[in-house]
Amino acid sequence: MPKDLLRSLPSIERLLTRPLALTLTAELGRERVRDLLRDITDDIRASAGREQFSQDGDPEPGLISQIEQELELRAARATRPSLRRVINATGVVIHTNLGRSPLAAAAIEAIAEVASHYSNLEYDLESGGRGRRESHCQELLARVAGAQAAVVANNNAAAVMLVLNTLAGGGEVIVSRGELIEIGGSFRIPDVMEKSGARLVEVGTTNRTRIQDYERAITERTRLILRVHPSNYRIIGFTERPTVDEIAALSKRAGILSYEDLGSGCLVDLAPYGVSDEPVVSASLKAGISVVSFSGDKMLGGPQAGIIAGSLEIVERVRRNPLMRALRVDKLTYAALEATLRLYDRGVAEKQIPVLSAIAATREDLAERARRFCSRLEATVSGAFDIQVEDGESVIGGGSAPDVRLSTALISLRHDSLSPSALDEKLRGEAIPIVTRTERDRILLDLRTVAEEEEEIILNALAEIVTSAQPTPMSAASSEG
Ligand SMILES: *Cc1c(COP(=O)(O)O)cnc(C)c1O
């Protein structure tokens, strides 16, 4: 910074009387704007390497506008929420770091309606007396999952804890060694078991467990036979695992309850879309498993929740557990869950639930979208990028169906001066951050997880990045100084 500019640094009082500061004051308060201006002018001083200089004389208009540009930027940053929308261009459908399932429009409407008004959350409109919050999803869960009754907890981890504690606290639970899994975020079956007050009885081996192994482990202390869907990993090769029918039959024969932690909670069979090894909720209940639990925000595509479904008697016992009060969900979750379940009931789930339509999108659809995207991109940023459409794969994510690969078309971008990691960083820094895949020499966009209306936002962001990456005559001149 040249000396004469420093000498003419405008005073903060003076900056505070200008229109931009006045507008921001209305939003942030005068104190906050003053602090921001102080930080900016301090930074200018520091970058000039001088502590002191006079503030008399006429400030350079260019300097004022530079300060105000910075003020606008910092004020925007200071007011933007911490939890923000992002665009998921990774193709990972249930991306745990990116909030798992985006909700269906119907679920969002239901949340808005219930959130902005009073509701009959625990009020029986027929009797005019007290009602139960779990009543709201009962009928729907009965129809779409084949459950007699259901209750909803904060997430599936809470559901597992509740079921184990209610049905097996102080007793023994038999689990196969091949199912002692860890889900991301340090959820480990043995640890949850311990916290629940139930004692884990391991049977079989990592790769092979037979129904006889369970049978032999049954004692008078056995309360539950647990089957866990090994969500995020698969054992392949020389393996054996009893079927749900075998577990259900043993449970009946021995008079011991059975429980299946299903993980993702597929309500419809996704085999037609290439996802063949995710268990369908109704199949387990139909086979005779006493109780199941699953997440609301994995394959189901609804809000974060853990659904416990089974016989009236078992669900009632879980509901009466004092832990239930600590782990229950609020009205917004019920609103979103009910609306999401209704889409299954109406047979429009694959069309209207975002994670299901993302899974159902075919390679041809995606290749067509990718080609259209690329020609629009060429038209705006011609020459700045090497743009290609290449074959690739999307994954389900969220600890579901780890061996499923969905064929997709990837948009590959190489910029002539920006490295892939620099480009990735710029995209993440956008007002609506865009998360992509970075490979060694390029970034990849997978439109499977991008809504059509988000394409425009990505195109604009890329155009803006290209423009600002071009050395303008001014920035070239100042970088010499
Ligand atoms: C994901 C998962 C959980 C935990 O569910 P959250 O809803 O994330 O709490 C528990 N068990 C299995 C088998 C899972 O796949």
CATH code at 328? 3.40.640.10
Ligand 1 centroid to 183 CA: how many Å?
6
- 344 and 367 inside one domain: no
Q: What is the CATH number of the domain that holds 470?
A: 3.90.1150.180
Asked if residue 411 belongs to a domain, the reply is yes
Nearest alpha-carbon partner for 455 in 87, 16, 199 = 87
- 362 and 337 inside one domain: no
pLDDT tens profile 198-229: 999 999 999 999 999 999 999 999 999 999 99
Q: What is the per-residue pLDDT for 103?
A: 98
Phi, then psi, of 208 in degrees rounded to 5: -135, 125
Ligand 1 touching residue 399 (CB < 6 A): yes
Top-ranked range on mean pLDDT: pick from 74-83, 129-138, 286-295: 286-295
Alpha-carbon distance 413 to 443, whole Å?
A: 5
Yes or no: say if 409 and 367 are a contact pair by the CB < 8 Å rule: yes
Contacts of 54 (CB under 8 A, 6+ apart): 7
More confident residue, 6 or 370: 370
Which two structure tokens, joined as six digits, stand for 256? 């011991």
Which residue among 46, 79, 112 closes a domain? Answer: 79
Ligand 1 touching residue 156 (CB < 6 A): yes
HSE-up of 45 (CA within 13 Å, CB side)? 17
- 313 and 423 inside one domain: no
Question: Span 391-395, mean pLDDT?
Answer: 95
Residue the block writes with tokens 């939003």: 27
Nearest alpha-carbon partner for 390 in 371, 406, 376, 410 = 410
- 337 and 365 inside one domain: no
Q: What is the per-residue pLDDT for 440?
A: 86
pLDDT tens profile 417-465: 899 999 999 999 999 999 999 988 999 999 999 999 999 999 999 999 9
- 449 and 409 inside one domain: yes
Question: Span 87-96, mean pLDDT?
Answer: 96
Nearest alpha-carbon partner for 15 in 55, 45, 52, 53 = 55
Asked if residue 264 belongs to a domain, the reply is yes
Q: Which atom of ligand 1 is nearest to the CA of 185?
A: 8
- 122 and 56 inside one domain: no
Nearest alpha-carbon partner for 291 in 134, 133, 148, 138 = 148
- 166 and 193 inside one domain: yes
Nearest alpha-carbon partner for 177 in 102, 241, 255 = 241
Asked if residue 293 belongs to a domain, the reply is yes
Ligand 1 touching residue 306 (CB < 6 A): yes
Q: Is the pLDDT of residue 5 over 80?
A: no
Q: Which atom of ligand 1 is nearest to the CA of 295?
A: 7
Nearest alpha-carbon partner for 304 in 103, 88, 89 = 103
Ligand 1 touching residue 53 (CB < 6 A): no
- 372 and 290 inside one domain: no
Which residue among 328, 348, 368 closes a domain? Answer: 348
Ligand 1 touching residue 397 (CB < 6 A): no
Asked if residue 320 belongs to a domain, the reply is yes
Q: Which of 170-179, 235-244, 260-269 has the lowest mean pLDDT?
A: 235-244
Q: Which atom of ligand 1 is nearest to the CA of 181?
A: 13
Q: Is the pLDDT of residue 301 over 70?
A: yes
Ligand 1 touching residue 420 (CB < 6 A): no
- 91 and 108 inside one domain: no
The whole model's pTM is what? 0.89
Q: Is the pLDDT of residue 7 over 80?
A: no
* Count of the separate structural domains present in the chain: 3
Q: List own/partner pairs for 60-66 with CB under 8 A and 24 or more apart.
A: 60/4, 60/5, 60/8, 63/5, 63/8, 63/9, 63/10, 64/10, 64/15, 64/18
Asked if residue 353 belongs to a domain, the reply is no
Q: What is the per-residue pLDDT for 474?
A: 47
Region of residue 372 (left: phi > 0; alpha: psi -120 to 50; beta: else): alpha
Which residue among 348, 378, 395 closes a domain? Answer: 348
On average, the pLDDT of the chain sits at 91
Question: Span 301-313, mean pLDDT?
Answer: 96
Contacts of 172 (CB under 8 A, 6+ apart): 198, 199, 200, 201, 219, 221, 222, 223, 224
Alpha-carbon distance 370 to 410, whole Å?
A: 7
Q: Is the pLDDT of residue 479 over 60?
A: no
Ligand 1 centroid to 305 CA: how many Å?
10
Q: Is the pLDDT of residue 260 over 70?
A: yes
Ligand 1 touching residue 155 (CB < 6 A): yes
Asked if residue 186 belongs to a domain, the reply is yes
Percent of the chain with pLDDT over 70: 94
Q: What angle do CA 476, 480, 481 make, to 5 degrees?
A: 120
Residue nearest to atom 12 of ligand 1 (CA): 263
pLDDT tens profile 151-180: 999 999 999 999 999 999 999 999 999 999
pLDDT tens profile 334-383: 999 999 999 999 999 999 999 999 999 999 999 999 999 999 999 998 88
Which two structure tokens, joined as six digits, stand for 17? 């009387």
Nearest alpha-carbon partner for 333 in 159, 94, 98 = 159
Q: What is the per-residue pLDDT for 53?
A: 47
Helix axes 156-168, 312-320, angle to 10 degrees: 100
Residue nearest to atom 15 of ligand 1 (CA): 263
pLDDT tens profile 97-131: 999 999 999 999 999 999 999 999 999 999 999 99
Ligand 1 touching residue 160 (CB < 6 A): yes
- 288 and 432 inside one domain: no
Ligand 1 touching residue 273 (CB < 6 A): no
- 409 and 376 inside one domain: yes
Domain residues for 65?
Answer: 3-79
Ligand 1 touching residue 180 (CB < 6 A): no
Question: Span 465-479, mean pLDDT?
Answer: 63
Q: Is the pLDDT of residue 475 over 80?
A: no
Q: What is the per-residue pLDDT for 89?
A: 98
Reduced 3-state DSSP string for the chain: CCHHHHHCCCCHHHHHCCHHHHHHHHHHCHHHHHHHHHHHHHHHHHHHCCCCCCCCCCCCHHHHHHHHHHHHHHHHHHHCCCCCCCEECCCCCCEHHHCECCCCHHHHHHHHHHHCCCCCCCEECCCCEECCCCHHHHHHHHHHHCCCEEEEECCHHHHHHHHHHHHHCCCEEEEEHHHCCEECCCEEHHHHHHHHCCEEEEECCCCECCHHHHHHHCCCCEEEEEEECCCCCCCCCCCECCCHHHHHHHHHHHCCEEEEEEECCECCCCHHHCCCCCCEHHHHHHHCCCEEEEECCCCCCCCCCEEEEECHHHHHHHHHCCHHHHHECCHHHHHHHHHHHHHHHCCCHHHHCHHHHHHHCCHHHHHHHHHHHHHHHHHHHCCCEEEEEEEEEECCECCECCCCCEEEEEEEEEECCCCHHHHHHHHHCCCCCEECEECCCCEEEEHHHCCHHHHHHHHHHHHHHHHHHCCCHHHHHHHHC
Asked if residue 325 belongs to a domain, the reply is yes
- For 72, other C-beta atoms within 10 Å of its C-beta total 14
Ligand 1 centroid to 141 CA: how many Å?
19
- 121 and 62 inside one domain: no
